[in-house]
Structure 1
Amino acid sequence: MAHLNMVFVRLSSSYFFYFALLGLISPFLAIFLDGKGFNSRQVGEILAIITATKIIAPSVWAILADKTGKPLLIIRLGAFLAILSFSVLFWVNHYWPIIFSLALFTLFWTAILPQLEVHTLNSIRHSNKIYARVRLWGSLGFIALAIIAGEVMSAFGYQTFTHIGVVILVGLFCSTLMLTSGKEASSTKKKLNENDAILSKLTDRRFISFFIAGLLLQVSFAPYYGFFALFLRDLHYSGLTIGLIIALGVVAEVVAFIYMGSLFKRFTLNSLLVFSLAITGVRWILIPEVADSVLWLCIIQLSHAASFAIYHSASMQFISTHFSKTQQSRGQGFYLGGVYGIGGAVGAYVTGILWLDGLGTSNTFVMAGLSALLGAIIMIFSKKKSSSIFS
């Protein structure tokens, strides 16, 4: 029991710092770039370019992890190099140097999560209940930084973005040094069969439907991740209020993670995925209509429990079930790289075009809503075609 508690603490701390950094970057990178003098189209292009690194990078790192049998080395190396590349932002101010720094940072940062997910699932023996409780510490990290960073940047300026990021990255690197290899992780190299049929898993109709739906979900998230904080700032919300509104969504996410074990017992994976996509679509369409009301914004933010927590947990369960033990890193890398890389990059680029420095807010969120709803429709039809993996 003491060993299990120690494993839980070590894993939770890594998730805390990883998603704390996301709690800084996701809401406030656009504000940082806006402070540098870039317009919405340039911000969208920067977000698209750095997000595009996620298309290839996770798969490359995953292949290295599988072939070396040392996923923890990949995690630690990624965290260390992420610190160095992010620190370059202290000295650059122009378009291409900033893109280079952020793209390099994303290249290394993306090495961490797929391997951390695999390491976590192996360490807790694929327990949905324990995974959800470990993962909620990532949500707590996001909440803490969304609130703190919003207030700090409001009080001391957009330049503090870089200082906060470096501090978090150092914490993340230190937390990865505490992780320990289990027997299963250490023997991955011995188990890996170069001829295992991962290609057939990637071309399976069920996986393709699942992949496209996830990609559409990430496209839909682009206005929220890239421009939502900037949108609220332009509506004259304070930095603290912006942070609290964003954090409220993650609080709902935490509650959902706590009860995911019960949801898995009562509903099929397909039902959870369709529900999450549909709720997300409605969420984006409503945001510009109620943005002047803090109360309505808060109510809508509660749907983040479905948009992220339920969908993420269900998708991780799908991947864990769909791929064999020796394919987990590559399966995670392909999914996260394709869905978050392609979906995020396309979404960011389209959002940058549609946003028009705030004049195209409604059209942008409608685009996002329709994207998520299309994903829900695809998952509904995938259930009709084949139900075994989703039952």
Structure 2
Amino acid sequence: MPAVAPRHSIAVVYAGLFFGIGVYLPFFPVWLTGRDFSASMIGFALAVPMAVRLATMPLGGLLADRTGRPRATLIGYALATACCFVGVVLAPDAALMLVALGLAASFWQPSLPVLDAYTVARRAEGLVDYGRVRLWGSLSFIAGNLASGLVLRVFPADALIWMIVAGSLVAAFAACALQPDARPLPEPARPRGAASARARLPRALRIGIAAAALVQGSHALLYAFGSIQWREAGLSDTAIGGLWAVGVLAEVVLFRSGTRITALIGAERLLLAGGLAGLARFGAMALDPPVVLLPFLQVLHAGTFGCTYLGTVELVARLAPAGRGAATQAMAAWAVAIVMTGATLASGPLWQALGPLAFAASALMAGGGAVLALLAYADRPQPQSAGSGG
């Protein structure tokens, strides 16, 4: 019997990982601006770690499945992430900083699908409620948003990177309290190669992953230039952190009831809800709405990110081949990374050419995801399995 209840240790690992993300997403572009990066260079810098993780993310999930040691994998990834971000802040020039950032992403991003798969496995054992442990990641994301805005009022911008390092170290130490690693189970003989692995995934799962990738990728412009736009509109760093927190707080409310909601409406319709929310959210942002409307648009993050995230995790949990949960979660995250990388690379030129009107492209991506979600629903295996929870 572990000294720390599984739900507590898992929640703290989520909290450590997402605290760093809560610092990185809204304020890393601001940090890059302080280093005299142009809009195009900011888009390029944000795309570098995304491109790197295209190769490393599937391997990260596969490693956890093949070794049967998700705890050791999570500890190693978190410690390596902390070390790489130390390199980011201490790098003497932009080129070395981008190298350190790419290395950080190769460990940081694969941690999340491995942790999701581990948590879903504990849910199947009746030890945790996925939505209620995952929400601590979202709450920590909010803490990172708010803390970053406050820190920037007092300390130099480099303090943001040290906050990411601290979050990764918390995740590493919390992972030490997870249940002991299981021994890897022998796997039946199977054809080798990526093509055969893809062929084993049901068609509905492949379509659903593509839908999730489009909806999540529609956030790229917001992540790259949202904080910069709001700064130019006259908002303080504290207010910007508050706007990000509003969106994630709405996500937390969703996750709090994630198990019931997923069981009620199912994974495919969650993906559809995410796409429709993105169509509305980013369509409105393309019109450069007044500041007073921004909190209401941020609430739609519960749909664009939260519904899409829950729908993806549930779809994979329901349809992934036996013994390949972490690898399939990683494959879904990999698909999101591919779309996010392309959208982030395009975000700089789009923003320079169109300004806020560039969000129309984000709205179109989310709408495409909604269409694919409908196709996934139509193609779902019959009879449809009852949702097993968020």
TM-score > 0.5 by shorter chain: yes
Alignment of 1:84-103 (within 5 A): 84-103=83-102
Q: Is the 8 A contact 1:198 1:323 kept in 2?
A: no
Q: How much does 1:95 deviate?
A: 2.7
Residue number in structure 2 paired with 1:28: 27
DSSP 3-state at the match of 1:325: coil
Q: How much does 1:268 deviate?
A: 2.9
Letter in 1 for 2:262: F
Q: Is the 8 A contact 1:215 1:343 kept in 2?
A: yes
Q: Indicate how the Cα distance of structure 1 residues 218 and 271 shifts in structure 2: closer, same or farther if over 3 A, else same.
A: closer
CA displacement, residues 139-189 of structure 1 (integer Å, 9 cap, x when unaligned): 0100001011012124323222222222222212211122122xxx614x2
Q: Is the 8 A contact 2:89 2:97 kept in 1?
A: no
Residue number in structure 2 paired with 1:346: 342
Task: Count matched residues.
Answer: 381
C-alpha distance in 2, partners of 1:64/1:194?
17
Residue number in structure 2 paired with 1:237: 235
Instruction: Indicate which of 249, 252, 277 corresponds to 1:251.
Output: 249
Letter in 2 for 1:261: T
C-alpha distance in 1, partners of 2:267/2:69?
31
Q: Aligned pair 1:361/2:360, yes or no?
A: no
Q: Is the 8 A contact 1:219 1:344 kept in 2?
A: yes
TM-score when scaled to structure 1? 0.91
Which runs of 5 or more residues in structure 2 are unaligned?
A: none
RMSD of aligned Cα (Å): 2.2
CA displacement, residues 236-285 of structure 1 (integer Å, 9 cap, x when unaligned): 10111111111011111011011122212321322221111111121012
Q: Indicate how the Cα distance of structure 1 residues 125 and 159 shifts in structure 2: closer, same or farther if over 3 A, else same.
A: same
Letter in 1 for 2:351: W
Residue number in structure 2 paired with 1:19: 18
Letter in 1 for 2:317: S
Q: Is the 8 A contact 2:29 2:224 kept in 1?
A: yes
Residue number in structure 2 paired with 1:161: 160
Q: How much does 1:314 deviate?
A: 1.5
Instruction: Indicate which of 199, 207, 217 corresponds to 1:219.
Output: 217
Residue number in structure 2 paired with 1:314: 311
Q: How much does 1:219 deviate?
A: 2.2
Instruction: Indicate which of 176, 190, 194 corresponds to 1:195.
Output: 190
Q: Is the 8 A contact 1:65 1:74 kept in 2?
A: yes
Q: How much does 1:194 deviate?
A: 4.2
DSSP 3-state at the match of 1:83: helix
Q: How much does 1:347 deviate?
A: 1.1
Q: Is the 8 A contact 1:118 1:328 kept in 2?
A: yes
C-alpha distance in 1, partners of 2:342/2:127?
32
TM-score when scaled to structure 2? 0.91
Query: Runs of 4+ in structure 1 displaced over 4 angstroms?
Result: 2-5, 126-129
Q: How much does 1:128 deviate?
A: 11
C-alpha distance in 1, partners of 2:294/2:170?
32
Letter in 2 for 1:324: P
C-alpha distance in 2, partners of 1:128/1:11?
11
Residue number in structure 1 paired with 2:44: 45
Q: Is the 8 A contact 1:128 1:260 kept in 2?
A: no
Q: How much does 1:77 deviate?
A: 0.8
Residue number in structure 2 paired with 1:273: 271
Residue number in structure 2 paired with 1:300: 297
Q: Which of the two has greater helix per residue?
A: 1
Q: How much does 1:16 deviate?
A: 0.6
Letter in 1 for 2:264: R
Q: How much does 1:376 deviate?
A: 0.4
Q: Indicate how the Cα distance of structure 1 residues 127 and 35 shifts in structure 2: closer, same or farther if over 3 A, else same.
A: farther
Which runs of 5 or more residues in structure 1 are unaligned?
A: none
Q: Is the 8 A contact 2:20 2:165 kept in 1?
A: no
CA displacement, residues 65-111 of structure 1 (integer Å, 9 cap, x when unaligned): 22222121111111111111110123225332121010000001123
Instruction: Indicate which of 346, 357, 364 corresponds to 1:370.
Output: 364
Q: Aligned pair 1:186/2:182, yes or no?
A: yes
Q: Indicate how the Cα distance of structure 1 residues 368 and 9 shifts in structure 2: closer, same or farther if over 3 A, else same.
A: same
Letter in 2 for 1:239: D
% identical equivalent positions: 23
Q: Is the 8 A contact 1:12 1:137 kept in 2?
A: yes
C-alpha distance in 1, partners of 2:325/2:189?
14
Q: Is the 8 A contact 2:46 2:344 kept in 1?
A: yes
C-alpha distance in 1, partners of 2:268/2:370?
10
Q: Indicate how the Cα distance of structure 1 residues 128 and 353 shifts in structure 2: closer, same or farther if over 3 A, else same.
A: farther
Q: Indicate how the Cα distance of structure 1 residues 324 and 385 shifts in structure 2: closer, same or farther if over 3 A, else same.
A: closer
Q: Is the 8 A contact 2:113 2:326 kept in 1?
A: yes
Letter in 2 for 1:342: I
Instruction: Indicate which of 223, 226, 229 corresponds to 1:228.
Output: 226
C-alpha distance in 2, partners of 1:348/1:192?
38
